[in-house]
Amino acid sequence: MIAIGGYFELELPQVIQYHGQAINLNSGRHSLEYILRLRSYTKIWIPYYTCEVVLQPIKKLGIDYGFYHIDEMLEPIFAYDSLADNEAFLYTNYFGIKDHYIRSLPAKCNIIIDNSMAFFAKPIPGFDTFYSARKFFGVPDGAYLYTYEGSRLDMDLPQSTSYQRCAHLLKRIDLGAEQGYADFKANDATLSDQEIMTMSKLTERILCSIDYKYVESRRLGNYRLYHQNLGQHNMLPEMLLNAVECGPLVYPFLTDRLGLREYLISKKVFVAQYWPNVLQWSDEDSWELKLTNQLIALPIDQRIEESKTEAILAFLNDWRMNENR
Ligand SMILES: Cc1ncc(COP(=O)(O)O)c(C=O)c1O
């Protein structure tokens, strides 16, 4: 019997989940672990340019791994023909703008698509594909997984709980971004200690309350506004930036002038660095190191109205003018 009456729970509108057909899990890294267990791979190829947490399930399961480079279009430099049946190949849908490329991949079922940066990308039948929710929405954790041919692990998974990981979400509203940051880091760290679990009821409930149409159109609108104004100064190829199809994560702005990240942070525009671990993994003159140091991930999320994007563009303009003096 579900309790009726009494005190209220957090009240949220009831809409529907965006990835209603997927397997709901606790995090992106645990979705990767699910795939690795399901397919019994013995080796996986991962890009130098990715987040170090993808190594957690690989190391946990004792699987061999190798790295590959990406080119200017953020596409793998890799001979897919050389991939053995027991080897997996992990590709990241960078910034959520590589859907077109993913559709052109050879139909090999041992390619895994990491859509952690591409929540709105459609899964392509034929690939195991996972998504992480917390880069896109105010949730503490949560992931979606589509498996090739709908295969499932023969394992009873416990259900996660997330209420204990929500302080940063609440503090950001009550106290502001700076006061919640330590909690964000601490809550983030707790994801590493978990097992594969199904998504918590709380995360699922929050993900059922989101206006996905609005989120996607706001993200696309901001992306395009940045691109109209900054495209000519962006060192990333025009063809790559124009390939955006669905709501991306950020607008990636590559510049060879130093100090932009620090300048924006001084204006309270917080820009994430993708990914600090690449500084250790890559050679000094590598493309991946350049991306890590010089790519500015301009925020485009659903909280940012057009007027705020214009304000950020004005900061960028001032910064460029100052550099020219
Ligand atoms: C590219 C990429 N893949 C996977 C993950 C893992 O997602 P999660 O934090 O939900 O485990 C992250 C972020 O943490 C990421 O940036």
Give the closest residue (by CA) to ligand 1 atom 15: 51
Report CA(320)–ligand 1 centroid distance (Å).
32
Packed helices 177-190 and 167-174: angle between N→C axes, nearest 10 degrees: 180
Q: Give residue 248's pLDDT.
A: 98
Q: Per-residue confidence at 258, pLDDT binned at 50, 70, 90? A: confident
* pLDDT: which is higher, 107 or 61: 61
Closest to 191 in 3D by CA, of 153, 230, 165: 165
Q: Per-residue confidence at 187, pLDDT binned at 50, 70, 90? A: very high
Residues 116, 99: contact at Cβ < 8 Å?
A: no
Report CA(135)–ligand 1 centroid distance (Å).
8
Average pLDDT, the chain: 95
Report CA(116)–ligand 1 centroid distance (Å).
6
Write down the number of H helices and E strands in the chain. 12, 9
- Model confidence at 325: pLDDT above 60: no
Ligand 1 proximal residues by C-beta, below 6 Å: 27-29, 50-51, 53-54, 92, 114, 116-117, 132, 134, 143, 191
**pTM of the complete model:** 0.96
Tell me the per-residue pLDDT of 26-40, one tens digit each, with 9 for 90 and over: 999 999 999 999 999
Measured CA to CA, the distance from residue 7 to residue 61 in angstroms comes to 44
Q: Give residue 108's pLDDT.
A: 80
Measured CA to CA, the distance from residue 196 to residue 154 in angstroms comes to 13
Tell me the per-residue pLDDT of 112-154, one tens digit each, with 9 for 90 and over: 999 999 999 999 989 999 999 999 999 999 999 999 999 999 9
Closest to 73 in 3D by CA, of 49, 40, 41: 49
Q: Give residue 48's pLDDT.
A: 98
Report CA(52)–ligand 1 centroid distance (Å).
8
Tell me the per-residue pLDDT of 44-94, one tens digit each, with 9 for 90 and over: 999 999 999 999 999 999 999 999 999 999 999 999 999 999 999 999 999
- Model confidence at 324: pLDDT above 60: no
228 phi/psi in degrees, rounded to 5: -60, -40
- Model confidence at 279: pLDDT above 70: yes
Angle at the Cα of 152 from the Cα atoms of 44 and 129, rounded to 5 degrees = 50
Residue 258 exposed, middle or buried by CB count within 10 Å (0-12, 13-18, 19+): exposed
